[in-house]
Structure 1
Amino acid sequence: MSNHPLTQKMKEKLEQVSVATLATALFKRGLRNQTIQDVRPLSPKGKNMVGPAFTLRFIPAREDRNQLAELSNPDHPQRVAIETCPLGHVLVIDSRKSALAASAGDILITRLMMRGGAGVVTDGGLRDAMNISELDIPAYHNRPSSPTSLVTNEAIAINEPIGCGDAPVFPGDIVVGDDDSVIVIPAHLAEEVADEAVEMTAYEDFVIEQVQNGATIIGLYPATKGENIDKFAKWRKANNR
């Protein structure tokens, strides 16, 4: 099982902030490439996916090694990943950014859900996407894909560092997905980033309210005028934020 710092308190904080806000908090720390590119939710869940990363990596399929019979092998890494992903973890799949063959289908993702997985993310595609979208597990991919993974990919390794949609993912990193996209927070930064994102979200909520009431963004976003900082302090107190 991967080492990770995710406490219940941190999880609750990360459930109430957006991927966009987390991306800004990471950018402040010099990290520019933690958002997984070109993945989207199969269906909006209305709440964030949060969990430590458990990874699966595919390589290009070599034809003699990837016939349908391979799926009968009890040690097939794709199957083993589904059966060993720890409770509350997000299965993150490096599918070589290719949806030419599916990373998994509805039976495997249903099994992941029943075992208590927190979600699944692939930079490739999922088959039976219409069924997976109705499951009670967050799922993100590039686009629906019908052919079995064996057509172009070979599942080769479990729970080692991978790239997913150009983002580096290390086992135990904290993965957060909202109804827009997915971001990977390095494990050692997760607590401070969660705290900062909650602070940023409070200010952003204040800003939206001000803008809806006709305020200009100049001096408000970002806060460069003292009067806005004072106004925010009062808003925060009044709104118990």
Structure 2
Amino acid sequence: MKKETRNKLMGVSVATLATALFKRGLRNQVIQGVQPLGWKGKNMVGPAFTLRYIPAREDRNGIAVFRNADHPQRVAVETCPEGSVLVMDSRKQAMAASAGDILITRLMKRGGAGVVTDGGFRDARTIAELEIPAYHTRPSSPTNLTNNEAIAINEPIGCGDAPVFPGDVIVGDGDNVIVIPADIADEIADEAVEMTAYEDFVVEKVKEGQTIIGLYPCTKDENREAFEAWRKANDR
């Protein structure tokens, strides 16, 4: 993704992005049920690198499989490109952990931009203290081998009911995570920056006691003119 696009997406909310995508008919891009561990105060932004789990079959998922150098969970952590977000389809269940602090620390040291699962992480308190942004549904201690098998790397997945294709742009804020189709990421970022500027203006006016009627959305010329003056004064 373009550096300029990444920088723009660092400063906008998932809610604003959801509205921009809704205008284009995309209604299900927010990953449902996930929340940040130890919010870092800045957005997570990066292209998606995916890992898909399926239900575990007992004869295939003994603890010894972790000795296999080709185990997909380990390979995903070791091959996720620098600046990318590892997104895991854990079947929306956190009965067993998608990963733990050792793997997430390794992902961080390799330059990963973040990690998301619609399942849970073990060692969640430790992960929350790492520098890498991480999102999950809830803490979960049992190993993923208990009921999940990592089966496929960098294929289209579903994560928290959102479709995720490799290379889609992932943005996480202090609330949740959204998936932006790669081919429209630049234009969505541009629009979201514009929307954010107006929303900041609106918040300021509402705090001053102004009604939202005619202000949000803007349907009155005087509000449009006031916004342009505000924008010039604030270099926005």
Aligned with residue 125 of structure 2, among 130, 152, 157 = 130
- AA partner of residue 169 (structure 1): V
> Distance between the aligned counterparts of 2:57 and 2:36, measured in 1?
30
How far 1:114 moved relative to its partner?
0.3
Aligned with residue 215 of structure 1, among 210, 226, 229 = 210
Aligned to 1:3: none
Aligned with residue 151 of structure 1, among 131, 138, 146 = 146
Aligned with residue 166 of structure 1, among 161, 166, 184 = 161
Which secondary structure state, in structure 2, belongs to the residue aligned with residue 103 of structure 1?
Answer: strand
> Distance between the aligned counterparts of 2:174 and 2:133, measured in 1?
9
4+ runs deviating over 6 angstroms: none
Aligned with residue 101 of structure 1, among 93, 96, 100 = 96
> Distance between the aligned counterparts of 2:147 and 2:216, measured in 1?
47
> TM-score scaled to structure 1, two decimals?
0.98
Aligned with residue 29 of structure 1, among 10, 24, 28 = 24
Aligned to 1:193: 188
Structure 1: stretches of 5+ with no match in the other structure: 1-5
Which secondary structure state, in structure 1, belongs to the residue aligned with residue 120 of structure 2?
Answer: coil
- AA partner of residue 177 (structure 2): V
Report how many aligned residue pairs link the two structures: 236
Aligned to 1:70: 65
Structure 2: stretches of 5+ with no match in the other structure: none
Identity of counterpart residues, as a percentage?
A: 75
How far 1:43 moved relative to its partner?
1.0
**Structure 1 position 180 matched with structure 2 position 175:** yes
How far 1:177 moved relative to its partner?
0.3
> Distance between the aligned counterparts of 1:64 and 1:240, measured in 2?
63
> TM-score scaled to structure 2, two decimals?
1.00
How far 1:132 moved relative to its partner?
0.3
Which secondary structure state, in structure 1, belongs to the residue aligned with residue 192 of structure 2?
Answer: helix
Aligned to 2:80: 85
The CA RMSD over aligned residues, in Å, is 0.3
> Distance between the aligned counterparts of 2:152 and 2:3, measured in 1?
29
1:105-156 residue CA offsets vs partner (Å, 9 max, x unmatched): 0000000000000000000000000000000000000000000000000000
